[in-house]
Amino acid sequence: MRFLLVDVLEAEDILGENVLEMGCGSGFLSILCAKRGADVTAADITEEAVNAAKANAQSNGLKIHIVQSNLFENVNGKFDIIVFNPPYLPKEGDEEGDITYTGGQTGREVIEKFIAQCKWHLEDKGRVLLLISSLTGYEEVIACFNDNGFSVKTKAKQKLDWEELIVIEARTV
C-alpha cells in the first residue's frame, strides 16, 4: 500500500517551494520534498522525532531546517505549502492516548488548533495539505477550515478496512 500523502506530494510541482512539514516524525515527507527541490522546514513536538528527522536528513545528505515545536510555537516564516499528517484518531475512554496518533476526545483537537494558526504561516496563494481519517469527522474539519477563511477541496482518498484516509487541500480565500 502506498502512502497517500506521498502520492499527493509526488503529483505536486514543489521545485523551489518553501515547504513546512508539521509533525514531521522521522522526516520522511520532508526528505521527499527536499529531494524534489523544495526548501524544507520540519517541526515536531517531541525531541525524539526531531533527533530522528535530523539523523535521517543527514544520512540522506539533505539540508532541512528542523525544530522542536508545539505546532507553530517555534516556527518562523511563511510557507508555500504546509503538510501535516496530524494525530487524528479519537481518544478511547479516559486513557491518555499516544500523541503520535491520538488527536484528543474527538480526534480534532490538534487539527483545530493547527487550522486556527496555519493561515498566519502561509504565503499568499499558499496551501495546506492535511491528512485526516473518516473517524476524525470530515464535515467538521471542512467546517473548521471554512470558519477560518479557507476554501477546501479533497485531493485524494484511500479506503482501508476500518476507515478512509483523506487528503484535504486548503487555501486562504
CATH at 112 = 3.40.50.150
Answer with the residue of higher pLDDT: 102 or 163.
163
Residue listed under C-alpha cell 479533497 = 154
pLDDT tens sequence across 104-133: 455 578 899 999 999 999 999 999 999 998
Question: In total, how many domains does the chain have?
Answer: 1
pTM over 0.85: yes
pLDDT of residue 1: 38
Rounded to an integer, the average pLDDT of 132-141 is: 90
Find the domain containing 59 and state its range: 4-10+17-172
Provide the CB-side half-sphere exposure for 2 (13 A, CA). Answer: 10
pLDDT band per the 50, 70, 90 thresholds, residue 101: very low
pLDDT at 102 over 90: no
pLDDT tens sequence across 145-159: 999 999 999 999 999
